[in-house]
Amino acid sequence: MRRIAGILTFLAALVFAFSFVPQGVSAKITFITIGTGGVTGVYYPAGGAISRMINAKKDIYHIRATVESTAGSVFNVNAVMAGDLEFGIVQSDRQYQAYNGLAEWKGKPQKNLRAVFALHPEAVTLVAAADAGIKTFADLKGKRVNIGNPGSGQRQNSIDALTINGIDWKKDIVAEGLKAAEAPGMLQDGRIDAFFYTVGHPSGAIKEATAGSRKVLFVAIPNIDKLCQKFPYYAPAYVPIKFYPQALNKEDVPTFGVKATFVTRADMPDEVVYAITKEIFENLDQFKKLHPAFEVLTKQNMLEGLSAPIHPGALKYYKEAGLIK
Ligand code: GLU
């Protein structure tokens, strides 16, 4: 009898204890992973900045964010669409192509892709070794050039830049498909003569490429007007030389560029997308301090370069904040 009473008391205590579990503990946590790029790019720290701000408010949002280093934009679109990643950072031109079924997605429009906001501008950056005899774009002919790995955003940008300037990437150069994080080391080791990287500035990869013993320069890309006319998702841009004092150039270098954008898919819960959007927009000054490439961000320009429909969770915030009518 005493034993049964003991067990009953214990069970009662158990029920009592569980009825007092604080709300924050019992609330369901949503885990999200953000696809970025190579660790020496800007997507990786950008994803880290978004995660840090969201995770700091886990008691309010119940979201736990992590970042993944990936092959880049094209990989991120595909992984988000396949449900392997919840969010991704993607070049604005790639967002346009994916949603409209162009380039890698020819005949396969990604209609469930959703835009959340735009981030920093990215410049198509062509870095060449001075001792390879590359001074102008035309000098690339016959050289070993990294145009970017399949899965990256930059690969198509390199091909467009070469093609508009009459260089056939399959015949006129020795094209390599290395990941951006590997290219600076390969350039310094003399294994390639030049590489393209579509990236925000400053970036760790470009610092690494310019800081070695092999002297390097940025090469201007000609025919930008023609290129931007043909592909409306490109805009004139330049490589800001102030971040790379060891490069041989003395002035900013003209090129073209796109924007980094934050994307998800249509079935992502509205409250998750709303929380992330609100957190970043309401604390934009704090967010901008997390990477120097974010210096130019404004609430207005973070709504530019979005070609997929804006996710309803983000749209709810933009309407509330009066940023979109
Ligand atoms: N723009 C590059 C890509 O889409 C990534 C740049 C970065 O990682 O900052 O692949």
**Per residue, what are the HEC states of 178-198?**
CCCCCHHHHHHCCCCCEEEEE
Distance CA 75, CA 79 (A): 6
Q: Residue 163 domain-assigned?
A: yes
Distance CA 199, CA 201 (A): 7
CA 73 to each of CA 26, 97, 135, 199: distance values in angstroms, whole numbers, following the listed order: 36, 11, 29, 11
Distance CA 147, CA 95 (A): 20
Amino acid (1-letter code) at residue 32: I
- Partners of residue 237 on adjacent β-strands: 255
107 φ/ψ sector (left φ>0, alpha ψ -120 to 50, else beta): left
Are 206 and 164 in the same domain?
yes
Q: Which of 74, 78, 152 has the most ligand 1 atoms within 8 A of CB, as the residue to mutate?
A: 152
pLDDT of residue 71: 98
Q: Which numbered atom of ligand 1 lies nearest the CA of 94? A: 4
89 Cα: distance to centroid of ligand 1 (angstroms): 8
Verify whether ligand 1 is closer than 6 Å to residue 199 (CB atom): yes
Q: Which residue has the tokens 């994916």?
A: 98
Are 51 and 138 in the same domain?
no
Are 239 and 139 in the same domain?
yes
pLDDT of residue 233: 96
Q: Which H/E stretch holds residue 155?
A: helix 154-164
Are 128 and 104 in the same domain?
no
**Residue at a domain's end among 258, 290, 310:** 258
Q: Which numbered atom of ligand 1 lies nearest the CA of 90? A: 4
The sign of the CA dihedral 269, 270, 272, 276 is positive
Distance CA 125, CA 200 (A): 9
Verify whether ligand 1 is closer than 6 Å to residue 38 (CB atom): yes
Are 177 and 241 in the same domain?
yes
Verify whether ligand 1 is closer than 6 Å to residue 125 (CB atom): no
Q: Residue 8 domain-assigned?
A: no
Are 206 and 167 in the same domain?
yes
Q: Residue 19 domain-assigned?
A: no
Contact between 198 and 153 under an 8 Å Cβ cutoff? The reply is: yes
CA 257 to each of CA 13, 74, 89, 227: distance values in angstroms, whole numbers, following the listed order: 64, 17, 16, 11
Q: Residue 208 domain-assigned?
A: yes
CATH number at residue 302: 3.40.190.10
Q: For residue 203, what are the domain limits?
A: 122-258
Are 201 and 311 in the same domain?
no
Domain count within the chain: 2
pLDDT of residue 191: 98
- Please give the full DSSP string across 40-60, using - where no structure is assigned: TSSHHHHHHHHHHHHHTTHHH
**Residue at a domain's end among 239, 258, 277:** 258
47 Cα: distance to centroid of ligand 1 (angstroms): 12
266 φ/ψ sector (left φ>0, alpha ψ -120 to 50, else beta): alpha
Question: Tens of pLDDT along the chain (325 residues)?
Answer: 566 666 666 555 555 555 454 444 457 999 999 999 999 999 999 999 999 999 999 999 999 999 999 999 999 999 999 999 999 999 999 999 999 999 999 999 999 999 999 999 999 999 999 999 999 999 999 999 999 999 999 999 999 999 999 999 999 999 999 999 999 999 999 999 999 999 999 999 999 999 999 999 999 999 999 999 999 999 999 999 999 999 999 999 999 999 999 999 999 999 999 999 999 999 999 999 999 999 999 999 999 999 999 999 999 999 999 999 9
Q: Which of 77, 154, 160 has the most ligand 1 atoms within 8 A of CB, as the residue to mutate?
A: 154
pLDDT of residue 16: 52
Residue 130, token pair as written in the block: 């001075």
Amino acid (1-letter code) at residue 228: C
37 Cα: distance to centroid of ligand 1 (angstroms): 5
Backbone phi and psi for residue 297, each to the nearest 5 degrees, phi listed first: -65, 140
Q: Which numbered atom of ligand 1 lies nearest the CA of 42? A: 9
**Residue at a domain's end among 206, 231, 258:** 258
Count H helices and E strands in the chain, helices first.
13, 10
β-pair type (194-199, 30-35): unpaired
Residue-wise burial string across 91-115, b where 16 or more C-beta atoms lie within 10 A, e elsewhere: bbbbbbbbbbebbbbeeeebeebbb
Verify whether ligand 1 is closer than 6 Å to residue 153 (CB atom): yes
Q: Residue 15 domain-assigned?
A: no
Q: Residue 252 domain-assigned?
A: yes
Distance CA 163, CA 167 (A): 5
Evaluate if pTM is beyond 0.85.
yes
Verify whether ligand 1 is closer than 6 Å to residue 42 (CB atom): yes
Are 250 and 285 in the same domain?
no
pLDDT of residue 301: 98
